Amino acid sequence: MARAEDVKVKPRSKRAKRIMEKREPKLVEEVKTVLLLHGNKTSQVTKDVLTDIHRLKFREALKLSRKNDDMKPFEPGGETHLEHLARKADCGMFVLDSHTKKRPHNLILGRFFDHRVYDLLELGVDKYRAIREFAAAAASVQAGNKPCFAFVGEQFESDPDFRLAKSMLLDLFRGRLVESINLKGVDHVIFVAAMDRKLLLRPYAIRFKKSGTKIPRVELAEMGPEMDLSIRRTRPAAADLEKEAMKRALIHKKKEKNVSRDNLEGKVGRMYVPRQEVETMPLRKMKGLKRDRRETAVAAKAEKKQRSEGAPTPVSV
């Protein structure tokens, strides 16, 4: 039996049609809006974490204040209400906080594809310092700016759980994809280090100082939130769903005429050269022919003068 969310609703107006087309999956993905929401039981630590994430994401995050009893993404059927909210708010990612005796100060990060839960990552907050404790450094960072990332540790390349955590953090904080960026727009860097089964997350504010040259001197000041996160549970994407989500847009380039590519010479072009008329082509004049040309010009001038005066043209016998 199909779920109510899977039933296609036919739009009744052009405005509703545009909204539904905007929410459909796209080959070229737009910026992910993050859905921040609370579980059944929460702690003040996880509430402050969501507040700081919302501050860093600025307008690219939607924070809900009510508690949700039926949100347990790792359990079968526990993601139904979560997917409903994602479809309603058109969000591509979520952060859910909870607090239990078995898993204290718990954060669940997940991504959506076609408003279905794609993959999940569960983190435990072992240590936390809020942005308000670094007010001086955080005040210099403009909300919504793109950060730099620094991942330290070979686990980010070898361990699948750490690879998932790296991908999840990049999607969470990277913001909009741009082709170029102003140097002054990069005002903070997020440093993430891997240690055993933990992630040490340290954001720093970037300050440009005078150096006497055109290139400024760069200094870092810790701005928060400072967090030590332990990896608890992960759930990678299903094989069929991953194959569907990894489709790339086919870019059709305009065909170039008379152009081919060679492994050795690279780009090779063929030029069109018209047929050359050698007989009528003005060639280089040699010095030995100047006398003959001069005599021919004098004879032609005399003949032209005789014709203009009406005199008979002499005929050689």
Q: Are 109 and 93 in contact (CB under 8 A)?
A: yes
Q: Is residue 273 part of a domain?
A: no
Residue 299 lies in a domain: no
Domain that holds residue 219: 29-234
Q: What is the pLDDT of residue 156?
A: 95
Please indicate, yes or no, if residue 226 is contained in any of the structural domains.
Answer: yes
- Contact between residue 65 and residue 97 where contact means Cβ atoms under 8 Å apart: no
Question: pLDDT > 70: what percent of the chain?
Answer: 88
Percent of the chain scored above 90 by pLDDT?
38
The per-residue pLDDT for range 122-148, each reduced to its tens digit, is 999 999 999 989 877 777 777 667 888
With 0-12 / 13-18 / 19 or more C-beta atoms within 10 angstroms meaning exposed / middle / buried, residue 247 is: exposed
Q: What is the mean pLDDT of residues 191-217?
A: 90
Is 295 within a domain? no
Do residues 102 and 44 lie in contact, with contact meaning Cβ atoms separated by under 8 Å? no
Cα–Cα distance, 168 to 231 (Å, whole number): 12
> Measured between alpha carbons, how far is 175 from 30 in angstroms, rounded to an integer?
10
Q: Is residue 118 part of a domain?
A: yes
Nearest to 190 by CA among 229, 157, 216: 229
Q: How many domains does the chain have?
A: 1
pLDDT at position 118, please?
A: 94
Task: Give, in order, the Cα–Cα distances in Å from 313 to each of 212, 294, 296, 298.
Answer: 91, 21, 16, 15
The answer to which of 1-5, 134-138, 224-228, 257-261 has the lowest mean pLDDT is 1-5
In a domain, 177, yes or no: yes
Spatial distance between the Cα atoms of 229 and 106, rounded to a whole number of angstroms: 10
Whether residue 237 is predicted with pLDDT greater than 50 in this model: the reply is yes
Is 280 contained in some domain?
A: no
Domain of residue 223, CATH code? 3.40.50.10480
Distance separating alpha carbons of residues 163 and 166, to the nearest angstrom = 5
Mean pLDDT value across the chain: 84
Asked if the structure places residue 131 within a domain, the reply is yes
**What is the C-alpha separation between 251 and 237, in angstroms, rounded?**
26
Mean local confidence (pLDDT), 302-317: 68
Rounded to an integer, what distance in angstroms lies between the CA atom of residue 164 and that of residue 157? Answer: 10
> Is the bond leading into 314 cis (omega within 30 degrees of zero)?
no
The Cα-based distances of 101 to 41, 71, 126, 296 in angstroms read: 10, 17, 14, 116
Specify the pTM.
0.72
